[in-house]
Chains A and B, each alone.
Chain A
């Protein structure tokens, strides 16, 4: 008797689990974004979110016939928040990397950006060699040549980077021991410390760096310098971060992304926000 009632109770508990199988697409897809990474995503003075990813996300959701809403979430809490089901997806300039694939899944990539340094316009690092050269990290010989060219100038300097990013992983692998690396919670904080002269350089994605260098507060005092790196440890481009096992949602979003690539919408949005087509190679 007792055993049977326990079984019945267990069945009751299990039933809704089966009904809401992991694979169902949520009625409203909640998408987390940092809201502090212009032009990818940023918060307007009135508190609303805007930027490349906000506009793109709305477009992709419309194509995939999904109801979506954006939620602002501090960068360092995005992956834990996704795992805790605080939201269902991440669109926050997050690159596909092997390390992240161990814990979460990704849609197709929707943009790819170089990473590099920004420095004090009047400081010695403004003369970093190979300025503007695109260096694919997959080509090891070329990458080594570029690193060897910049290392002498970077020796003993302090470089700021946002915590838990591909850029932090890059510095950790290639410049540890050459320069002191300081990790910040937000890019805004490392921008301020670069302007204050506490650090000699920041390492970040090109689009946000250009946005920072163009801000009235920093115009003329901060410039991009040195080679621009791509691929390898820096990832295969920004994509929508998803929980492992949410395959139905992934399939719908992938369709949506394929659709905006096909009819040129992605190219239009990319050009609007980045002044360049940053559509990643498909395949």
Chain B
């Protein structure tokens, strides 16, 4: 009943989509983190204009479906080709890859901004006061006290967000990119065997996500040395 040869063939074909899925994930997570840092800084800056802008950005991108954002960027902006060409931006919006990366980055940036903000707000006030009492400068305080404590606090939620990005990359297949899901669709179109192909594709995603969970656990133990079991003497 179970066609091992077909499953093996599907797995091999799907593996070709792995670099794209991982590349989109890595790119969006890295760029999204930068964007989220800026947005969180804006929200915590106490400057009304920056706070408002960051608030609007987070509100819009968390309140609408990623697929709508993706179509708006890919098909929607495609309508303005002459203008984009005049601005010298068409090379970017012409490629489905850049459109997908942009949509994923903007989307995860909004979610991550809230995670960072939550982490920073959770830093105990006493720790900051203590640092200041020791005569730490603002930069040093941020680097040595606030960020490490915030990172530790935010890590579990951030791990979930990275997993969301892995899953969200599957939407890139809707604008012709051949990521894991794109290849899976192609295989089904050729073989009409949806169940087997999707089981194989699902296995890839699950493996990636389990690996991420493992990495997050590792990071947690590194960031929280006080919680580690003491080494035997």
Contacts and interface: CB of A to CB of B under 8 A. Distances in A.
Q: Do chains A and B touch in the complex (CB under 8 A)?
A: yes
A204 to B, nearest CB: 15
B94 A182 contact: no
Name the interface size band of chain B: 10 to 19
A192 interface: yes
A71 interface: no
Interface stretch (A75-83, A117-125, A130-138): A75-83
A111 B117 CA distance: 63
Contacts of A272: none
B170 to A, nearest CB: 15
B176 A80 contact: no
Contact of A182 (B90, B176, B192, B194): B176
Contact of A164 (B78, B174, B190): B190
Contact of A197 (B94, B176, B192): B94
Interface in B79-134: 79, 81, 90, 94-96
Given A183-B176, A192-B75, A198-B94, A164 B81 contact: no
Nearest to B94: A198
B152 interface: no
B189 A76 contact: yes
Given A192-B78, A196-B78, A164 B189 contact: yes
A103 interface: yes
Interface string A123-164: 000000000000000000000000000000000000010011
Contact of B185 (A76, A160, A197): A76
B174 to A, nearest CB: 8
Interface string B168-186: 0000001010000000011
B105 to A, nearest CB: 20
A184 B81 contact: no
Nearest to B176: A182
A184 B190 CA distance: 14
Given A79-B192, A197-B94, A183 B78 contact: no
A160 B175 CA distance: 12
Contact of A196 (B81, B176, B186, B190): B81
A103 B192 contact: yes
Given A182-B176, A184-B176, A197-B94, A83 B192 contact: yes
A276 interface: no
Contacts of B186: 163, 183
Contacts of A192: 75, 78
Nearest to A193: B78
B94 A163 contact: no
Interface string A33-76: 00000000000000000000000000000000000000000001
Contact of A80 (B75, B79, B190, B192): B192
Contacts of B96: 182, 198
Interface string A167-188: 0100000000000001111000
14 contacts: A76-B185, A83-B192, A103-B192, A160-B176, A163-B186, A163-B189, A164-B189, A164-B190, A183-B176, A185-B174, A196-B78, A196-B79, A196-B81, A198-B95
Interface of A: 76, 79-80, 83, 99, 103, 160, 163-164, 168, 182-185, 192-193, 196-198
Interface of B: 75, 78-79, 81, 90, 94-96, 174, 176, 185-186, 189-190, 192, 194
